[in-house]
Each structure stands twice: as structure tokens, then as C-alpha cells.
């Protein structure tokens, strides 16, 4: 199935890829947005090609105020329904009660536990039952992502993943946003190329890696929360 998918979209641009998914997979396809600059491009394209694909976001409870602002602006501009998935209340309460509100700073294991509760488990609920998952991943975002492919099988979640912007550069994304007047997170203008939970994200310094602002207190190699781990 993956090879057929690759052949069908070979040579297509991002809009055509999204249109293909919308037409072929319809409401069995889902798009995850964190309202980052790449995801805003995809939302804009989904608005142009059709409204069959479902859209969701992970409301971790630790987002930046600027993220909520662009979330509202996105709803106002496109009118596309965006379903919010929250972490399990009991699990969050247990974590914070036992380890405090900033346990993620203590160790990689504690940080991954927080990510699992606030992001991974809600994601698993969000994509359950769907056949195709659209993401805003670009190859140049990190060394780990360069090893990925534009279409791949996610063994962990048993779903096809497609990354329409996989070969786009940051300049491509920024130019598209400007030319099409797409709402975007103001933090991108303040040195935040990647925006996640507020306590775990900072602006990067000139010359730093794209992902340097995420979990900056940890070793810099392959820093991921686990959302896009495709094998066990």
C-alpha cells in the first residue's frame, strides 16, 4: 500500500498531495496541527482543496498564549473544525501530585513521562480508526527527520503517514505564509522555529540547530517527544 501511495503522489506538489489525500481517503484521513508555521500552510491548503480531512490539535494544558491566539485566528479565517484532545485528567493529577508541576526538568525519563501523558496518549486517541495521518514535518527540521520519508508506515500507530512539506525549506514555508496572508504564531518572529509546550520551549540563538529550543536542558541528539516514532 505504501509503495502504491508513493507512486500516486510522485512528482506532485504539496497542494496536489493534500488534494489527493482529501479525494481518495476523505474522512478516513486526519491532520494534526500544533499551529506552527508548517501546520498553518497545510491548514490553508486543506481549506483550498476540500474539507473531508479531519483536523485535530493536542491541548496539553501548557501551551503559549501566542498559540491560543493563532488558534483563534485560524478558526476565524478558515472556519475549519479543529477538534481538541486533552490529556487524561486523572493521569495529570497523579503526575503533578506525586512529582510536582515541573518534573520534566528532573530527568529524561520524567520528561518523557510528561510527554506521554500530555501528548502521546491523547494522540493515540486522536488518530485511532483513521487510515492516513497528514503532518507538517520537513526533512531539514532535524537530523532524525532527514532519515524519514515523505510517505511511511507508522508501525506504532498502524497508520500511513504523509508529509506534504517534507522537501520544503524554511524559506519556502515563510514565503508561502507571507504571499498567502496565512495566520501564524508571533513567536516565530522572536526566534522560535519550533513551538511546543511553554515550559519546554525557548527561542534559539544564531547558529543553533532548529530543534535546540526544545528540551534545551537535555543532550541535543535526536530530541523528540515520541509523537513521530514509527517503530517500536
pTM to 2 decimal places: 0.90
Q: Are 15 and 172 in contact (CB under 8 A)?
A: no
Task: Check residue 24 and give its pLDDT.
Answer: 93
Burial of 130 per CB tally in 10 Å (0-12, 13-18, 19+): buried
CA–CA distance, 97 with 36 (Å, rounded to integer): 31
Q: How many CB atoms are located within 10 Å of the residue 63 CB? A: 19
> C-alpha grid cell for residue 116?
506521554
CA–CA distance, 4 with 69 (Å, rounded to integer): 40
In the chain, which ranges are E strands? 29-32, 54-58, 82-85, 132-134, 151-154, 159-162
Task: Check residue 65 and give its pLDDT.
Answer: 98
Task: Check residue 8 and give its pLDDT.
Answer: 87
- Please say if 200 is a catalytic residue: no
Q: Which residues 6+ apart lie within 8 Å of 80 measured at CB?
A: 43, 46, 47, 51, 55, 74
Task: Check residue 87 and give its pLDDT.
Answer: 98
pLDDT in tens, the chain (232 residues): 788 888 888 889 999 999 999 999 999 999 999 999 999 999 999 999 988 999 999 999 999 999 999 999 999 999 999 999 999 999 999 999 999 999 999 999 999 999 999 999 999 999 999 999 999 999 887 655 556 788 999 999 999 999 999 999 999 999 999 999 999 999 999 999 989 999 999 999 888 887 789 898 887 655 555 554 555 5
Task: Check residue 220 and give its pLDDT.
Answer: 64
Amino acid at each position: 500500500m505504501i509503495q502504491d501511495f508513493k507512486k500516486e503522489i510522485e512528482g506532485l506538489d504539496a497542494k496536489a498531495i493534500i488534494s489527493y489525500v482529501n479525494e481518495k481517503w476523505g474522512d478516513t484521513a486526519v491532520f494534526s496541527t500544533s499551529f506552527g508555521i508548517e501546520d498553518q500552510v497545510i491548514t490553508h491548503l486543506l481549506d483550498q482543496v476540500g474539507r473531508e480531512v479531519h483536523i485535530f490539535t493536542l491541548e496539553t494544558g501548557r501551551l503559549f498564549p501566542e498559540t491560543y491566539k493563532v488558534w483563534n485566528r485560524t478558526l476565524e479565517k478558515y472556519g475549519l473544525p479543529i477538534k481538541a484532545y486533552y490529556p487524561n485528567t486523572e493521569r495529570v493529577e497523579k503526575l503533578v501530585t506525586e512529582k510536582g508541576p515541573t518534573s520534566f526538568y528532573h530527568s529524561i525519563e520524567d520528561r518523557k513521562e510528561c510527554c506521554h501523558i500530555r501528548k502521546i496518549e491523547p494522540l493515540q486517541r486522536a488518530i485511532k480508526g483513521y487510515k492516513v495521518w497528514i503532518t507538517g514535518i520537513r526533512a531539514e527540521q532535524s537530523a532524525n527527520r532527514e532519515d524519514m520519508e515523505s510517505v511511511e508506515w507508522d508501525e506504532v500507530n498502524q497508520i500511513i503517514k504523509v508529509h506534504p512539506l517534507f522537501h520544503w525549506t524554511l524559506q519556502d514555508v515563510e514565503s508561502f505564509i507571507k504571499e498567502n496572508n496565512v495566520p501564524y504564531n508571533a513567536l516565530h518572529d522572536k526566534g522560535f522555529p519550533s513551538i511546543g509546550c511553554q515550559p519546554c520551549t525557548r527561542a534559539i540563538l544564531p547558529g543553533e540547530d532548529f530543534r535546540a529550543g526544545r528540551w534545551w536542558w537535555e543532550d541535543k541528539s535526536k530530541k523528540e517527544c515520541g509523537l513521530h516514532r514509527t517503530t517500536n
